[in-house]
Amino acid sequence: MLVRPALGAAALLLAAVAPVTAAAAPYESVTVDRVGRVAADGTVVLTGTYRCGAATGPVFVAASISQGSASVRYGIGGTRARCDGAAHRWANSGKVTPVRIAPGAAHVEATVMELRPHGGLPLPYIHATGRRDVTLVAG
């Protein structure tokens, strides 16, 4: 899995901490577009929209993908989010290893997650989660 260095460090830190999930405010949401892309080299590109309110720490839109009957989900990049109440586009890309994602049907989950400071430690706070069956096209 291709992970940006800052996100990789955050993922290691968060592996031992359960995320705080609260009911999303009515204006907080994340969507996944119906069509994603997979390049010849295996790079997957997923897109959508998000909206989130005020945040006290850095916020990211994370995405994961699964294909076929596999219950394993693979992370596809992370995009820094701006939580100002307005709707914004997000796009994540990355390669999945050791498997190869192919054009066709897939299931995607996107999450707007804040690393909220709490007693000197950044704890994950989920603003919104969205799921969608998508079609991956070559390109």
pTM of the model: 0.80
Pairing of strands 20-21, 121-138: parallel
- Number of structural domains (the chain) is 1
pLDDT digits (tens, 9 = 90+) for 33-51: 999 999 999 999 999 999 9
CATH for 69: 2.60.40.10
Q: What is the pLDDT of residues 45-85, one digit of tens each?
A: 999 999 999 899 999 999 999 998 867 899 999 999 999 99
Report the percentage of the chain scoring pLDDT > 90: 68
Confidence category of residue 25, pLDDT binned at 50, 70, 90: low
Q: Which residue has the higher pLDDT, 120 or 35?
A: 35
Identify the pLDDT of residue 68. 85
- 117-139: string of b/e by CB count within 10 Å (b at 16+)? eeeeebbbbbbbebebebebeee
Q: Determine the structural domain holding residue 38 and report its residue range.
A: 5-138
